[in-house]
Amino acid sequence: MEFLNDFLAWAWARHHNVLSWYIRPLFILPFIYFAYKRSWAGMIATIFALATSMFWFPAPASVDPTVAQFLEAEREYLTGAWTTQKVLLTLTVPLFFSLLALSFWKRSWWWGVAVINLAALGKVAWSVVEGGQSGWAVLVPAVIGMLVCDAAVYFGVKYVNRRKNQAATV
C-alpha cells in the first residue's frame, strides 16, 4: 500500500505542471482519428495515454497559487463522499468519449465538433463550480484545446473531401 501512496504522491506532484493541462485536450485528435478509422485498439490506447499523461511532465519548481488551489479542490472532489449526483456527473466523462467515438465512427463531423465544444465548456463550468475562482485556471487550456480540435476537424474534413473528389474524377 505504501508503494501505491508513493506513486500517487509522485503523480499528483506532476499533475501540477500546467503543460499537461495543455497537452491533454490534444488527445482528442488521435481518438477522433481512430474512431473515424473504426479502430477500437487505437481508441483504447489513446484513452490510456490520456489517463497517464498527467504525470508525463516533471513536477514544476514552483506552482501558481491559483493552480494549487484548484487542484486542492479537485482532490477534495475525488476523495470526498461519492453521492449519486457526483457519480452521475463523473459518468459524463465516459459519455463524452462514447458520443465522440459515435460521432466520428458515423462520420458526423458537426456532431463531433458539438461534442468537443460542449465538453470543453462543460469542463470549464465544472471547474468553476467545484473550484470557485481558482477554477478559471482551466479556461485557457480548455479553450485552446477546443479551438485546436475544431481546426483539426475542419482541416480533416477538407482533406477527406478533397481526396474523395480526386478519386471521383480519376
Read off the pLDDT of residues 30-87 as tens digits, 9 standing for 90 and up.
999 999 999 999 999 999 999 999 888 998 989 889 999 999 999 999 899 999 999 9
What nine digits make up the cell of 9? 504522491
Residue 170 has pLDDT above 80, yes or no: no
Task: Give the ranges where the chain is alpha helix by DSSP (H).
Answer: 2-15, 19-23, 28-36, 40-52, 65-79, 84-90, 92-105, 109-131, 139-169
Residue 133 has pLDDT above 70, yes or no: yes
Contact 146/85 with Cβ under 8 angstroms? no
Q: Quick one: which of 160, 151, 90 has its CA closest to 116? A: 151
Work out the pLDDT band at 11, boundaries 50, 70, 90.
confident
pTM assigned to the model: 0.88
Residue with the larger pLDDT of the pair 14 and 38: 38
For residue 57, the 8-state DSSP code is S
Average pLDDT, the chain: 93
- Average pLDDT on 8-22 reads 88
Confidence (pLDDT) at 55 = 86
Confidence (pLDDT) at 12 = 86
- Average pLDDT on 117-131 reads 95
